[in-house]
């Protein structure tokens, strides 16, 4: 039996008669804003439970990472430094950006390497996140704590009277569940025995007695959370994954699946001095929704399955000086995609792996898309740039799966023929595909537009956001292609350029014989053959910043945008 059993019993015994000394103060992640973001991923340790510290991984800290603030319209530049002992990737979940910047399994960052993606933020104001996406390692690296939130602001959201004092009346809540070994180390399991918010066990937080915004991310490996308050009060959902809803939607429960985000407004006016619990009412979940299963033993056994449990103890304190005291009646005017404009309907299937001859990890327990396990070398679809597409997903799986696609935000058309409820009738990047009913398969349709960023080399992913299923192969990939592009993939049309100054100490410039030459990728490799800097589509006019390289001889590997041909030149860093 796991050590956590004991902790959990303690949690049950103490948790329900609210003595504040039994709670830990909710940790609020630091923030970063501007247009250049330095993110250093490293192995570290953290005091999560009494006794031995837990080996964790953090981004600029001991666990999880800073919350990044982006303004729509800005070009953001990321310096992602992998100081972990292992390779990783960092994916910008929900963002519309070039595939080569996306941080999926193809954009692997070796240990010791700096990766510098950048892109123009076109997403709507909402809550997004970033997390590792290395194939077969995603569950492991997310469990150790790698990830962070991204908050996008735009003019429409900024014009509304909404709470936006971070940590005060605008609270980030990253929901997970975790499990510890007897040595206090993370167990890499789909379900933990303890619910955790922002890396805090048994958390409490004080909010002002006014309208408060919670930005909630389900960052769990597998579990869904049927969110609500212990007193069943109403709250207003104001966003789906990728933007504001047209108007707030009043509910008292919201079932949030892995990878999904919602922002909600709660009215705490006049309640100073009282408290209420944010709960996961998971006792009402069926057996085939993650977290609804009711077993204590085996690989999926856990103490939170099919139970109602507290996520956060909320203490209500005095008002702030400029409180928001009412909820806006309307928020935005979403122009959803029109099915009449769809160029194609793609038919996908989800199923159990029975009949698949070569299951990779868990054998017959794996779930699959289009009757096959993930193959990183196979593009399932070529999406012509500019296409509006309906993706129709038919599931014969008995289990429900949160399906996620990169590159786009989509609109749900229907789930088993029924249009989405108001709280999901906006922009989404994860849609829950319920398990089949009896022998009747589930059919879910969504519509998306693939507007730009054609790239034949770097695919975008789609997958189940239950990391266990994803790691086991419940994933596929597509490329966005420009059918009119004349680019040919060849290895003999090398670009002709010189590096200067050489030797160089801070900036390195490239001068091309053909001034129209464009870079698809530049890598800088040291004498040991190790890639130290990865520069997708670098803006070369500004030079390459090499000031952080240790002095020595390096190779610069240039990939031409048009021909994809690779040329290598040496330079010396002084």
Q: Which residues inside 498-557 make contact with Cu ion, applying CB under 5 A?
A: none
Residue for token pair 């490799």 = 525
Please identify, using beta-carbon distances, which residue of 223 and 404 lies nearer to ligand C2O. Answer: 404
- How many chain residues bind ligand C2O (CB under 6 A)? 10
Q: Which two tokens stand for residue 547?
A: 């000031």
310 lies in the binding site for ligand C2O (CB under 6 A)? no
Q: Rounded to the nearest whole angstrom, what is the least distance from the CB of residue 104 to ligand C2O in the complex?
A: 6
Please identify, using beta-carbon distances, which residue of 131 and 153 lies nearer to ligand C2O. Answer: 131
Among 62, 96, 106, 131, binds ligand C2O (CB under 6 A): 131
Per the CB < 8 A criterion, the answer to whether 476 and 463 are in contact is: yes
96 lies in the binding site for ligand C2O (CB under 6 A)? no
Partner in contact with 464, chosen from Cu ion, ligand C2O, none, beta carbon below 5 to 8 Å by kind: Cu ion
Q: Rounded to the nearest whole angstrom, what is the least distance from the CB of residue 477 to ligand C2O in the complex?
A: 10
Among 463, 469, 523, 573, binds ligand C2O (CB under 6 A): 463
Binding mask 406-435 for ligand C2O (x = CB under 6 A): x-----------------------------
Please identify, using beta-carbon distances, which residue of 146 and 249 lies nearer to ligand C2O. Answer: 146
Torsion of CA 445, 447, 448, 454, to 10 degrees: 70
Q: Rounded to the nearest whole angstrom, what is the least distance from the CB of residue 9 to ligand C2O in the complex?
A: 33
310 lies in the binding site for Cu ion (CB under 5 A)? no
Q: Rounded to the nearest whole angstrom, what is the least distance from the CB of residue 474 to Cu ion in the complex?
A: 5
Q: Rounded to the nearest whole angstrom, what is the least distance from the CB of residue 404 to ligand C2O in the complex?
A: 5
Please identify, using beta-carbon distances, which residue of 58 and 104 lies nearer to Cu ion. Answer: 104
* C-alpha span between 177 and 471 (Å, rounded): 18
Sheet with 67-71, edge to edge strand ranges = 31-33, 67-71, 148-153, 126-131, 91-93
461 lies in the binding site for ligand C2O (CB under 6 A)? yes
205 lies in the binding site for ligand C2O (CB under 6 A)? no
Per the CB < 8 A criterion, the answer to whether 112 and 532 are in contact is: yes
Q: Which residues inside 240-269 make contact with ligand C2O, applying CB under 6 A?
A: 259
Partner in contact with 135, chosen from Cu ion, ligand C2O, none, beta carbon below 5 to 8 Å by kind: none
**In the structure, how many helices (H) and strands (E) does the chain have?**
4, 40
Contacts of 341 (CB under 8 A, 6+ apart): 388
Question: Where in 67-167 does DSSP place strands (E)?
Answer: 67-71, 75-83, 91-93, 114-115, 118-120, 126-131, 148-153
469 lies in the binding site for Cu ion (CB under 5 A)? yes
Contacts of 183 (CB under 8 A, 6+ apart): 52
* Of 302, 147, 112, nearest in space to 218 by CA: 147
Other CB atoms within 10 A of residue 113 CB: 21
Alpha carbon separation from 94 to 234, 349, 428 (Å, rounded): 28, 22, 8
Please identify, using beta-carbon distances, which residue of 190 and 248 lies nearer to ligand C2O. Answer: 190
Which region holds residue 386: left if phi is over 0, alpha if psi is between -120 and 50, else beta? left
Partner in contact with 461, chosen from ligand C2O, Cu ion, none, beta carbon below 5 to 8 Å by kind: ligand C2O
The dihedral through the CA atoms of 437, 192, 16, 273 has a sign that is negative
Please identify, using beta-carbon distances, which residue of 245 and 430 lies nearer to ligand C2O. Answer: 430
Q: Rounded to the nearest whole angstrom, what is the least distance from the CB of residue 13 to ligand C2O in the complex?
A: 36
**Residue ranges binding ligand C2O (CB under 6 A):** 91, 93, 131, 133, 259, 404, 406, 461, 463, 465
**Residue ranges binding Cu ion (CB under 5 A):** 93, 401, 406, 464, 466, 469
């Amino acid at each position: 039996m796991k050590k956590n059993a004991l902790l959990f019993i303690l949690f049950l015994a103490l948790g329900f008669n609210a003595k504040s000394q039994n709670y830990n103060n909710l940790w609020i992640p630091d923030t970063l804003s501007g247009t250049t973001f330095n993110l250093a991923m490293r192995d570290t340790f953290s005091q999560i439970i009494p006794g031995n510290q837990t080996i964790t991984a953090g981004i600029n800290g001991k666990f999880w990472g800073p919350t990044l603030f982006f303004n729509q319209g800005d070009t953001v530049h990321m310096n992602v430094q992998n100081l972990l002992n292992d390779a990783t990737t960092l994916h910008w979940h929900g963002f519309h950006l070039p595939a080569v910047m996306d941080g999926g399994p193809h954009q692997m960052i070796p240990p010791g390497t700096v990766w510098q993606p950048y892109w123009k933020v076109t997403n709507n104001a909402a809550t997004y996140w970033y997390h590792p996406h290395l194939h077969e390692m995603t569950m492991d690296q997310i469990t150790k704590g790698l990830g962070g939130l991204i908050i996008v602001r735009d003019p429409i959201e900024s014009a509304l009277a909404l709470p936006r004092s971070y940590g005060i009346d605008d609270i980030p809540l990253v929901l997970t569940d975790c499990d510890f070994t007897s040595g206090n180390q993370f167990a890499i399991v789909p379900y933990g025995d303890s619910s955790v918010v922002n890396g805090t066990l048994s958390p409490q937080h004080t909010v002002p007695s006014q309208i408060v915004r919670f930005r909630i991310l389900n960052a769990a490996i597998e579990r869904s959370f049927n969110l609500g308050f212990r007193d069943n009060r109403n709250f207003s959902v104001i966003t789906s994954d990728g933007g504001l809803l047209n108007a707030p939607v009043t509910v008292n429960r919201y079932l949030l699946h892995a990878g999904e985000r919602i922002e909600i407004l709660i009215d705490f006016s006049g309640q100073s001095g009282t408290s209420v619990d944010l709960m996961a009412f998971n006792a009402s979940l069926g057996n085939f929704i993650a977290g609804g299963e009711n077993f204590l033993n085996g690989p999926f056994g856990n103490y939170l399955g099919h139970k109602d449990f507290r996520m956060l103890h909320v203490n209500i304190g005095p008002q702030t000086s400029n409180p928001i005291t009412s909820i806006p009646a309307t928020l935005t005017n979403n122009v959803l995609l029109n099915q009449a404009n769809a160029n194609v309907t793609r038919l996908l299937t989800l199923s159990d792996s029975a009949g698949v001859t070569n299951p990779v990890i868990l054998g017959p327990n794996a779930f699959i898309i289009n009757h096959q396990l993930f193959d990183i070398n196979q593009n399932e679809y070529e999406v012509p740039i500019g296409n509006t597409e309906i993706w129709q997903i038919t599931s014969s799986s008995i289990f429900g799966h949160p399906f996620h696609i990169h590159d786009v935000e989509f609109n749900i058309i229907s789930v088993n023929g029924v249009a989405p409820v108001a709280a999901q009738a906006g922009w989404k990047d994860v849609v829950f595909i319920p398990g089949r009913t009896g022998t009747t398969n589930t059919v879910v349709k969504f519509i998306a537009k693939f507007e730009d960023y054609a790239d034949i080399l770097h695919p975008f992913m789609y997958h189940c956001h239950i990391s266990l299923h994803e790691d086991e192969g419940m994933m596929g990939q597509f490329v966005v292609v420009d059918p009119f592009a004349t680019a040919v993939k060849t290895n003999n049309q090398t670009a002709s350029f010189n590096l200067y100054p050489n030797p160089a100490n801070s900036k390195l410039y490239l001068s091309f014989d053909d001034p129209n030459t464009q870079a698809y990728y530049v890598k800088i490799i040291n004498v040991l053959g190790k890639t130290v800097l990865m520069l997708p589509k670098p803006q070369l006019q500004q030079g390459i910043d090499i000031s952080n390289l240790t002095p020595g001889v390096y190779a610069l590997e240039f990939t031409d945008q048009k021909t994809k041909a690779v040329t290598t030149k040496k330079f010396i860093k002084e």
